[in-house]
Structure 1
Amino acid sequence: MRRVVIGATAVSMALSIAACGKAGDDNDDSGSSSSGGGSKSIGLLLPDSVTARYEKFDKPYFEAKVKELCSDCNVEYANAAADANKQAQQVSTMVTKGVKVIVISAQDSAAIKSSIKAAVDKGVKVVAYDRLAQGPVSAYVSFDNVKVGELQGQALLQAMGAKASPSANVVMINGDDADPNAAQFKEGAHKALDGKVKIAYEQSGLWKDTVAAEKMSAAITQLGAKKIAGVYSANDGMAGGIANTLKGAGISTIPLTGQDAELAAIQRIVAGTQSSTVYKAYKPEADTAAELAVSLLQGKDIKGTASTEVTSGSGDKVPAKLLTPVSVTKANIKDTVVKDGLYTVAQICTAQYAAACKAAGLQ
């Protein structure tokens, strides 16, 4: 099996997730999709409810695939609302209910380790979803996150064009360091950008649009509005806050990256206030997680699905499935998110974006 090593240092950094993630809000949707529990019960624990993808796409796709594969299985669902302590309690609650397999996207990959170990000690199988949690997990499904960062960096350079030079100032707003994916996005972006541009300001935006907006404002104050050639944002949620700050500062022509292919980001790309995002198809990821969960529930071999091996921050070797991300710019919106049915042209091209959509060939 191909081996991918995910460094312990990256996941042990101080708090600061995504493709595909972002820190949460006060909305705690910890209700279950079913109240059953029991021997055919699968738990789904997602990290926050402000990242649009989780409850709009991941949850329903996962539930539908589980039902397709196991008609008498039920899914217990809870959302951590960006609270690591709450998520730890949710794991305990799932175990008490008799859930046999837990699929978890960790709010804090290191903090959840003891909860995962306690669940496994009671015979529960754990699948790490999107973010590689520490501890004895049985499987992991996500995207090649270093590749995500590379795609972001490459897209930024492409959008900068002739302005990309070793002296060109780039602002870098990274994700939350409690999310191991954030370190990998950052690694990939630096791989693409280092030596080609000057990273003049780099901070964590904690996956929050408000924090990212504040960091962007500080960068403008430090560097000067006219001396910033491009902005790397690790995800679309933060890019929204950054775009607002740029607009407020009268900056409208510099490239801005993102990730997650959120609808608002696609619309910003059409309008020209964001240059790119990274599309990580939610359905294949959720479907794979469901396949792994049902197989583990039924005692089946998962090697055919999780054929790669990764090493988590706790040193555990984990069978994994890593999917391929895709860069999205104005030029390929129709061939990516529209073609896959993620959004319709009508959803993207509301009245506010009608003229821009027409110019982009979407109408």
Structure 2
Amino acid sequence: MTRIAIKMTGAAALVAGLLGSVSAFAQSGATVAFLMPDQASTRYEEHDAPGFIAEMKKLCADCKVVYQNADADASRQQQQFNSVVSQGAKVIVLDPVDSTAAASLVKQAQAQGIKVIAYDRPIPDAKADFYVSFNNEGIGKAIADSLVEHLKAKGVAAADGGVLQINGSPTDAAAGLIKKGIHAGLDNSGYEILAEYDTPEWAPPKAQQWTSGQVTRFGKKIVGIVAANDGTGGGAIAALKAAGVDPVPPVTGNDATIAALQLIISGDQYNTISKPSEIVAAAAANAAVKLLAGETPKADVTLYDTPSQLFIPAVVTAENLKAEIIDKNIMKAEQLCVDRYAEGCKKLGIGG
């Protein structure tokens, strides 16, 4: 379990943020909780939490931010939720381990006048005060469309085989949206879905184990794999390599982790999604401060009866990795172009 409590001191200094100017009447010294779901996805520790804390420091210098990570344990997240309620949190930003179970947490908080922002993963069975995320259904469709276009461009005929579909956790409503988007991209593509798997807890080893079984089952009939995130995609690639599959068929991903970007550089992974988590983290901080001030954050759409702001991410392949990742300063060449990846970087015009 990760738990960080940060007291931000200094005069209140609220500035214009991602959602526009923020009221100067946010509750001084208020406690805001940021509760994330797991550590299997490195983004929460490396990007989401630091991004949220940094933006809160800009917008409400004397607010207290409490960050906790449930490490994929719904019971632990409930305990953490109860803890921040007892600490007097006025706003709770919640990325649920279990989207269904989280509904009771939302209702519990709202009954006590506490605002809840659903973050990254929606909470379908309860109306949160706001929802901030990337467009998850759009992500699923984008990675599937990208793979289908690639297969067709390479002249891979539908009769040559089909694809595997690796979804995220069955308890994650965002995974369900990604899954829906993947089907939107695959179902009418002409390529058969050979088999499909919902990955418990998004765990890469479980995705790897399942893929190993499918390689034994289908062999060369597997012409591509649509994986819902970089962890499950990496697990699939590990299974293919362990089975001696060469060349590895194109595999998708999502999150633009360092490991996935390096796999793209080496030619082992076909695509990922660049969605700098700091963007949604900053948006959540802006929404939190507005709610503290008694204001209503601006919504783009309504999802699950909840006012929402959804950001559109970019698909990254070897062709545009330099433009989307390096040139936009999301990561530096020296982070990616190390050891065996140096040669691949040179081929893509990255680094010296």
Structure 2 Cα separation of the partners of residues 145 and 166 of structure 1: 30
Cα separation, 2, equivalents of 1:110 and 1:67: 32
Tell whether 2:347 aligns with 1:359: yes
After superposition, residues 214-293 of structure 1 pair within 5 angstroms as 214-224=209-219, 226-253=220-247, 254-293=249-288
Write the mapping of 1:5-16 to structure 2, written as runs, cut at 5 A. Answer: none
8 Å Cα contact 1:38/1:98 also seen in 2: no
Inter-partner Cα distance in structure 2 for 1:154 and 1:279? 16
Asked if 1:33 is matched to 2:6, the reply is yes
Single out whichever of 169-178 and 29-38 deviates more from structure 2. Answer: 29-38
The 2-side partners of 1:79 and 1:188 are apart by: 28
Structure 1 unaligned segments of length 5 or more: list them: 1-27, 312-316
Work out whether 1:121 is the aligned partner of 2:111.
yes
In the alignment, the residues of structure 2 paired with residue 95 and residue 200 of structure 1 have an alpha-carbon distance, to the nearest angstrom, of 46
Verify: 1:347 aligned to 2:335, yes or no. Answer: yes
Shift of 1:100: 0.3
Cα shift readout 1:148-191 (whole Å, capped 9, x = no counterpart): 01111012113323114265211111111111111111111111
C-alpha separation in 2, matches of 1:325 and 1:31:
29
Structure 1 length as normaliser, TM-score?
0.87
Contact 2:170 2:199 in 1 (8 A): no
Instruction: Give the counterpart letter for 1:106 in structure 2.
Output: P
Aligned-residue offset at 1:307: 2.9
Q: Deviation per CA, 1:86-136, whole angstroms, max 9, x where unpaired?
A: 111111111100010000111111111112211111110000000112423
**Inter-CA distance 361–192: structure 2 relative to 1 (3 Å threshold):** same
Say whether residues 1:176 and 2:166 are aligned partners. Answer: no
Name the counterpart of 1:322. 310
Seen in structure 2, the aligned counterparts of structure 1 residues 230 and 129 have a Cα distance that, compared at 3 Å, is same
2:139 corresponds to: 148
Out of 86, 92, 101, the residue aligned to residue 82 of structure 2 is 92
Looking at structure 2, the residues matched to 360 and 215 of structure 1 have their Cα atoms a distance apart, in angstroms, of 32
1:41 Cα offset (Å): 0.9
3-state SS, counterpart of residue 85 of structure 2: helix
Task: Give me the whole-angstrom Cα distance separating, in 1, the residues matched to 2:227 and 2:233.
Answer: 6
> In structure 1, how many angstroms separate the alpha carbons of the residues matched to 2:262 and 2:103?
38
**Match in the other structure for 1:212:** 207
Amino acid at match of 2:156: K
Q: Is the 8 A contact 1:173 1:215 kept in 2?
A: no
What do you get for the CA RMSD once the two structures are aligned? 1.7
Please give the alpha-carbon distance, in whole angstroms, between the structure 1 residues aligned to 2:28 and 2:4. 17
CA drift of 1:34 comes to 4.1
Structure 1, 99-108 or 249-258: larger mean CA deviation = 249-258
User: What secondary structure, in the 3-state scheme, does the structure 2 residue paired with 1:100 have?
Assistant: strand
Match of 1:15 in 2: none
Structure 2: gaps spanning 5 or more residues: 10-26
- Report the alpha carbon displacement of residue 233 of structure 1 after superposing the two structures with TM: 0.8
Matched, 1:138 2:160: no
Match of 1:264, SS state, is: helix
Q: 1:50-92: CA deviations, max 9, x gaps?
A: 2111110011110111111111111011110100011111111
After superposition, the Cα gap between the structure-2 partners of 1:153 and 1:214, relative to the gap in structure 1 and judged at 3 Å, is: same
Question: What TM-score results when the alignment is normalised by the length of structure 2?
Answer: 0.89
Identity value in percent: 37
Q: Using the alignment, how far apart are the partners of 1:231 and 1:111 within structure 2? A: 31
How far off is 1:48 after superposition? 0.8
| Structure ranking higher on relative contact order (CA contacts 8 Å, 6+ apart) | 1
Q: Please say if residues 67 and 74 of structure 1, whose CA atoms lie closer than 8 Å, have aligned partners that are also in contact.
A: no
